[in-house]
């Protein structure tokens, strides 16, 4: 089987972000396994009616159990995928601060999260990042209160690395 192309991965990342956006804000981080649609329907024929036309090389996101509570990098380090999973998508909400806020930040990790959550210049964002087993990646970002979706494969290099590590 050939690798899905980057536009297919971007399309799936956008689909997953829209699905999570329909649930509203303040959602826990969620991960989705990416399966080859043709293989998925062959293994689970009852899914064919939900999927519709199967396009060769297309990916289907499969929602996984909720992620455990904890630091995202540590949670990702505990994930491993079976060979039939071609990739994964993570959707998470983050607090983003302007660079000028860095000088004011407290140094204790617990305090910094509370400080950031209450900072007057904070922005809440939802980030969706997808990777494939062969190293392709795509991502998008939505700012709370804005309709525009920023699509850029290089929005979250650290998360890309963390997700790729789940395949090793």
- Hey, where are the domains in the chain? 8-165
Terminal C-alpha separation, the chain: 20
Tell me the torsion sign for CA atoms 21, 88, 131, 11.
negative
Alpha carbon distance 97, 94 (integer Å): 10
Interval 84-140: pLDDT, tens: 999 999 999 988 877 777 777 776 665 667 776 777 778 899 999 999 999 999 999
Given a cut of 90, is residue 81 above it in pLDDT? yes
CA 63 to chain centre: 11
Interval 46-75: pLDDT, tens: 888 888 788 888 999 999 998 988 889 999
- pTM, 2 dp: 0.87
Pairing of strands 30-36, 137-143: unpaired
């Amino acid at each position: 089987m050939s690798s899905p192309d980057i536009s297919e991965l971007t399309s799936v990342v956008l689909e997953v972000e829209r699905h999570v956006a329909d649930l509203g804000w303040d959602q826990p981080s969620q991960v989705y396994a990416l399966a080859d649609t043709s293989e998925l329907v062959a293994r689970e024929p009852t899914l064919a009616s939900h999927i519709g036309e199967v396009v060769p090389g297309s990916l289907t996101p499969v929602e996984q159990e909720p992620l455990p509570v904890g630091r995202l990098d540590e949670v990702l380090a505990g994930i491993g995928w079976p060979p039939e999973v071609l990739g994964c998508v993570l959707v998470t909400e983050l607090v983003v601060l302007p660079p000028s806020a860095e000088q004011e930040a407290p140094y204790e990790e617990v305090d910094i999260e509370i400080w950031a959550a209450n900072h007057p210049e904070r922005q809440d964002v939802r980030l969706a990042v997808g990777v494939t087993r062969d190293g392709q990646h795509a991502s998008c970002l939505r700012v709370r209160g804005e309709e525009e979706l920023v699509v850029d494969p290089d929005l979250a290099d650290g998360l890309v690395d963390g997700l790729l590590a789940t395949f090793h």
